Structures are given as structure tokens and as C-alpha cells.
A and B are shown apart, each in its own frame.
Chain A
Amino acid sequence: AQSVAQPEDQVNVAEGNPLTVKCTYSVSGNPYLFWYVQYPNRGLQFLLKYITGDNLVKGSYGFEAEFNKSQTSFHLKKPSALVSDSALYFCAVRDLIYNFNKFYFGSGTKLNVKP
């Protein structure tokens, strides 16, 4: 079955420091991977996706993610964190085998950026 795992429930980082939010995947075939962000009391917002091509994907708000096939990872990164980046981040993978309309979301990682 297709799945993603986010090993950290919470990540704490100081403003101005680089941040990484981890995601690993388990899929049959080539993965279609996504990152979404959820601010308090809001719906999820799309950040970026990897389908094919360059392993480094750039997205909204200065975020980027690196696809690593050998490590089956798709970690979200930002060179310099802002307090306003504090939110819940979800990694997701699209099912390409049984129902390509279906997405599987990770359990979410809460990012806390302290001033």
C-alpha cells in the first residue's frame, strides 16, 4: 500500500535558522509526493509537489523539498525560518496503483519557530 511517514510530531527551531521537516514514503512505482501546510483553524494549503524531474523542488513561501530515491525521503526545508512559518505540515503521496485519485497523508508535524 502507498503510505508516508512523518517521524517527528514536533520540530522546534529558532527564527533565522534553517528548518527541516522529515517525510519518508513507501510506494509501489514512482511516487507523486506533496507537502501541505495547515495554519490554526484553517484548511490545508498546497506548498509544493514532486512528480518527476529535478530532485530539488521549490514551492511557496520560500520552502523547498528534496526527493531522495535511495533513502525514500522527501524532506521539507527552508534556509531561514520565520515565526509565521509556525504551523502543521503534512506530507502526502498519491496512489498510483489502486486508485490514482486517492491521496494518503502523513500524521503531520507541528513546526514551532521561536523568535
Chain B
Amino acid sequence: DTAVSQTPKYLVTQMGNDKSIKCEQNLGHDTMYWYKQDSKKFLKIMFSYNNKELIINETVPNRFSPKSPDKAHLNLHINSLELGDSAVYFCASSQQQGETQYFGPGTRLLVL
């Protein structure tokens, strides 16, 4: 059973398009996160939700919009994709805020 799953695993798209990445966790955790890992493997927090409430909103372009329909899901929608958005996006969850995080397999986004 996959604890934290993301779809799709790979996403290749053209500049200017709008795309979504979905994340689901079956661990019963309260908190979920989105991270961006760049080409140099540097990992940076983007957003975090706790029980469907936004608690971390880093300096991310407003083209990125997270949505949490319930505490098991945290989706990431990206409008008007740019070349610089190419990266690996990781979803993660934790039992409570600040606890050990469990990561999904990542979504590799390539913007052409």
C-alpha cells in the first residue's frame, strides 16, 4: 500500500499551459506539504495545510494554488506554466504539525 501517492509521476507540457498535480495520503495524517526540488536537488517548502487549513504559504508565485478538499488530499494547480517551473514536486504528510514527514514519490514536471 502506498502511503503518500502523487499523480502524475511525469508531466511534460508547454509554456503557458495550466496543470494540476494530485496528492493523497492514507496514513490518517493531519498535515500535508508541497515541496519543490530544483535541478541541484535543493528542497524548498512551498505550502502546508493542517486539517484543510493553510498554515504555510512561502514566497511562491500566485500562479501556484494549493487546494485541500479533505485532510487526505492536497492538490497543486499551476497556471501559466513557465520554464523555471521545471522541477520535481514532492508531496509529504505528517501526523501533526512539525512531526516526521513522509514523502510521496515525486512528480517530475518539465516545461518546454
Contacts and interface: CB of A to CB of B under 8 A. Distances in A.
The number of chain A residues touching the other chain, given as a range, is 20 to 34
B42 A103 contact: no
Given A107-B41, A107-B42, A101 B48 contact: yes
A67 interface: no
A61 interface: no
A103 B56 CA distance: 11
A34 B92 CA distance: 15
A67 B14 CA distance: 47
A44 B90 contact: yes
B97 interface: yes
11 contacts: A43-B92, A43-B104, A44-B43, A44-B92, A46-B100, A46-B101, A49-B100, A100-B98, A101-B97, A107-B41, A107-B42
Interface string A82-115: 0000001010001000011111010110000000
What is the size category of the interface that chain B forms with chain A?
A: 20 to 34
B60 to A, nearest CB: 14
A103 B105 contact: no
B110 interface: no
Contacts of B34: none
Contacts of A17: none
Contact of A102 (B41, B45, B103): B45
Given A34-B100, A88-B41, A102-B45, A43 B90 contact: yes
B98 A94 contact: yes
B42 A108 contact: yes
